[in-house]
């Protein structure tokens, strides 16, 4: 069964990869609209087939809706990433002289899609869910465990229950596969940002109008990715975490995903701050060199006490005063306040899945308190 499920997962990876790289490009529709159509199609199919097995209550309708939106949203997010990662790195490429980074920028879109580590990550993410599914089925069959959600086990005379099982597995593993791709993207972005901080051959423009050394394309791109990543986690929490199963592998998995997004944001902010500091140090070094050169000239002229050099002395004094003022201005850039808009966007997007998760925990606490009071 494990072998069959892995084959099933990789089959859907190829299908998804084809959708991402080829199919979306064949349509004139915006990929957001395409994702909406995919979500609506999944929702319609699930509603139709589920109704053939049993009536749908409100909570189940709520979960089906969020799961359908989740898959479409995942596809849109992945498509956006692959459509913008290369252009984003190209915008900041002039500031980095490291040859390794220059080559990486050129092949960035291919590097994200072709790696043995990617396949390993898919296996590491998918296999635990397959094993949990098998264990639950085994516990029900032989140890009188809780009933697994397989309608075909209890309604063998109803062909729609078998179809519902198949569709639920297809949708479930497709969602996990897309999550694996997104996690792979987040991990690679963290690696890229950390690598940028190691580059000593940088030429950050600290006088850029964006006030962060011309790195606003990187900051905005990461912020957009992280914000949408948290929305995806929120939809996953709604779809897979119930008050009854709040303490589960799924919960731990989603919490780890949440902290991975936080790590990406904090790493980016730290790297940008570090790169700006390097850029400021570089500019201060240039000013100090120029200051030392003119200062030596001034001292030499003063030592010779030549009245004919009065105009030159005034000129050198003016240059030194100007350099001193510029040095103070540049040093003040190190004390620049936080970008409150960026911080506010991050916190608000982070709070959404956090509040939903807390709401689930409170839900199970209320149930436990109720039974404890009986």
Q: How far apart are CA 222 and CA 263, in angstroms?
A: 11
Nearest to 13 by CA among 93, 126, 157: 126
The answer to the question of residue 324 being in a domain is: no
Q: How far apart are CA 147 and CA 300, in angstroms?
A: 93
256 near 307, Cβ under 8 Å?
no
Has residue 371 got a pLDDT over 90?
no
* Mean pLDDT value of segment 73-94: 85
| Alpha carbon separation from 175 to 147, 250, 267, 268, 315 (Å, rounded) | 23, 13, 27, 27, 70
User: How many other C-beta atoms lie within 10 A of the C-beta of residue 371?
Assistant: 8
Considering 197-201, 295-299, 357-361, 370-374, the range whose residues carry the highest mean pLDDT is 295-299
First to last CA, the chain: 43
Nearest to 121 by CA among 62, 66, 185: 185
Of 66-70, 86-90, 107-111, the one with minimum mean pLDDT is 107-111
At residue 241, φ and ψ (nearest 5 deg) are -110, 120
The answer to the question of residue 311 being in a domain is: no
Has residue 156 got a pLDDT over 70?
no
pLDDT band at residue 112 under the 50/70/90 scheme: low
Nearest to 68 by CA among 104, 86, 42: 42
Helix, coil or strand: residue 202? strand
Q: Which two tokens stand for residue 45?
A: 């199919």
181: domain range? 1-203
The whole model's pTM is what?
0.79
Q: What's the structural domain count of the chain?
A: 1
Residue 25: predicted pLDDT? 47
For 23-80, the DSSP string reads IHHH-SS-HHHHHHHHHHHHHHHHHHHHHHHSPPPHHHHHHHHHHHHHHHHHHHHHHH
Backbone CA torsion sign across 139, 143, 146, 150:
positive
| 154 vs 136, more confident | 136
Has residue 88 got a pLDDT over 70?
yes
At residue 70, φ and ψ (nearest 5 deg) are -60, -50
Has residue 170 got a pLDDT over 80?
yes
Of 44-48, 217-221, 277-281, the one with minimum mean pLDDT is 277-281
Residue 111: predicted pLDDT? 59
Long-range contacts of 8-11 (CB under 8 A, 24+ apart): 8/169, 8/173, 9/122, 9/126, 9/173, 9/176, 9/177, 10/119, 10/122
The answer to the question of residue 223 being in a domain is: no
Residue 23: predicted pLDDT? 42
The answer to the question of residue 48 being in a domain is: yes
Residue 282: predicted pLDDT? 82
For the purposes of burial, counting CB atoms within 10 Å of the CB of 340, is it exposed (0-12), middle (13-18) or buried (19 or more)?
A: exposed
Q: What is the pLDDT of residues 286-322, one digit of tens each?
A: 888 888 888 888 887 777 766 656 777 788 888 888 8
The answer to the question of residue 26 being in a domain is: yes
The answer to the question of residue 43 being in a domain is: yes
The answer to the question of residue 179 being in a domain is: yes
Q: What is the pLDDT of residues 26-82, one digit of tens each?
A: 443 566 788 888 999 999 999 999 888 888 888 888 888 999 999 999 998 888 888
The answer to the question of residue 150 being in a domain is: yes
Has residue 6 got a pLDDT over 90?
no
């Amino acid at each position: 069964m494990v072998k069959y499920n892995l084959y099933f997962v990789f089959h859907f990876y190829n299908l998804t990869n084809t959708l991402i790289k080829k199919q979306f490009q064949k349509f004139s529709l915006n990929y957001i609209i395409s994702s909406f159509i995919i979500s609506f199609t999944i929702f319609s199919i699930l509603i139709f087939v589920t109704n053939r097995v049993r009536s749908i209550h409100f909570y189940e309708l709520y979960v089906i809706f969020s799961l359908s939106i989740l898959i479409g949203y995942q596809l849109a997010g992945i498509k956006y990433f692959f459509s913008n990662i290369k252009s984003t790195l190209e915008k900041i490429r002039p500031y980095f002289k490291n040859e390794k980074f220059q080559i990486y920028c050129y092949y960035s879109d291919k590097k994200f899609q072709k790696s043995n580590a990617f396949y390993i990550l898919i296996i590491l993410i998918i296999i635990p869910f397959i094993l949990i599914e098998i264990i639950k089925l085994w516990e029900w069959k032989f140890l009188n465990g809780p009933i697994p959600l397989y309608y075909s086990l209890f309604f063998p005379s109803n062909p729609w229950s078998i179809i519902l099982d198949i569709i639920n597995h297809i949708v479930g593993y497709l969602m996990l596969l897309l999550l694996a791709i997104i996690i792979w993207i987040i991990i690679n972005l963290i690696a890229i940002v950390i690598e940028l901080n190691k580059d000593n051959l940088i030429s950050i423009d600290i006088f850029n109008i964006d006030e962060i050394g011309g790195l606003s394309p990187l900051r905005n791109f990461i912020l957009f990715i992280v914000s949408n990543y948290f929305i995806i986690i929120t939809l996953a929490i709604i779809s897979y975490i119930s008050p009854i199963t709040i303490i589960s592998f799924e919960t731990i998995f989603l919490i780890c995903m949440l902290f991975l997004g936080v790590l990406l944001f904090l790493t980016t902010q730290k790297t940008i701050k570090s790169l700006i500091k390097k850029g400021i140090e570089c500019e201060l070094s240039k000013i100090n060199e120029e200051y030392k050169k003119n200062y030596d000239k001034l001292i030499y002229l003063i030592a010779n006490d030549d009245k004919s050099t009065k105009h030159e002395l005034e000129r050198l004094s003016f240059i030194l005063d100007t350099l001193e003022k510029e040095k103070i201005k540049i040093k003040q850039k190190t004390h620049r306040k936080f970008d409150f808009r960026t911080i506010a966007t991050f916190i608000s997007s982070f709070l959404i899945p956090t509040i939903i998760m807390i709401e689930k925990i409170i839900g199970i606490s209320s149930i436990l308190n109720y039974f404890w009071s009986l």
